[in-house]
Amino acid sequence: MRCAYHAAGVCRSCTHLGEPYLDQLAAKDAHARTLLSKVPSAADAVWHEPVASPDEGFRNKAKMVVGGTVEAPTLGILDELGRGVDLQGCGLHEAPLRAALPAVADAISAARLTPYDVPSRRGELKHVLLTLSPDGEIMARFVLRSTEAVPRLRKHLPTLLAAIPGLRVVSANIQPEHKAVLEGPEEIVLTPDDSLRMRVNHLDLHLLPQSFFQTNTAIAQALYAQGAAWVDAAAPRSVWDLYCGVGGFALHVAAPGRDVLGIELSAEAIGSARRTAAEAGLAVRFEAGDATAFALSADAAPDLVIVNPPRRGIGADVASWLERSGVRDVVYSSCNAVSLARDLAAMPNLRVTEARVLDMFPQTAHYEVITRLTRA
81-97 pLDDT, tens per residue? Answer: 999 999 999 999 999 99
Three-state DSSP at 150 gives helix
Which letter, b or e, does each residue of 321-342 get, where b requires 16 or more Cβ atoms within 10 Å of its Cβ? bbeebebbbbbbbbbbbebbbb
Q: How far apart are CA 121 and CA 106, in angstroms?
A: 23
Stated as kind and residue range, the H or E segment containing 241 is strand 238-242
pLDDT in tens, 333-356: 999 999 999 999 999 999 999 999
Q: Per-residue confidence at 180, pLDDT binned at 50, 70, 90?
A: confident
Q: Which residues, 6+ apart, have CB-to-CB distance to 46 below 8 Å?
A: 353, 354, 355
pLDDT of residue 15: 95
Q: Per-residue confidence at 361, pLDDT binned at 50, 70, 90?
A: very high
pTM: 0.94
- Whether 244 sits among the annotated catalytic residues: the reply is no
Q: Per-residue confidence at 128, pLDDT binned at 50, 70, 90?
A: very high
Q: How far apart are CA 73 and CA 68, in angstroms?
A: 5
- Distances in whole angstroms, Cα of residue 64 to Cα of each of 52, 88, 242, 281, 304: 26, 9, 30, 36, 39
**Contact, 299 vs 324, CB < 8 A?**
no
pLDDT of residue 317: 95
Environment class of 10 (CB within 10 Å of its CB; exposed 0-12, middle 13-18, buried 19+): middle
Q: How far apart are CA 177 and CA 3, in angstroms?
A: 34
- Go through the chain and tell me how many residues it has: 376
Please state the rounded mean pLDDT for residues 224-228: 98
Q: Per-residue confidence at 179, pLDDT binned at 50, 70, 90?
A: confident
Please state the rounded mean pLDDT for residues 263-269: 94
Catalytic position from the list 3, 11, 90, 335: 335
Q: How far apart are CA 314 and CA 138, in angstroms?
A: 32
pLDDT in tens, 42-92: 999 999 999 999 999 999 999 999 999 999 999 999 999 999 999 999 999
Q: Per-residue confidence at 244, pLDDT binned at 50, 70, 90?
A: very high
- Considering the chain, what is the average pLDDT of its residues? 96
Whether the pLDDT of residue 319 is over 90: the answer is: yes
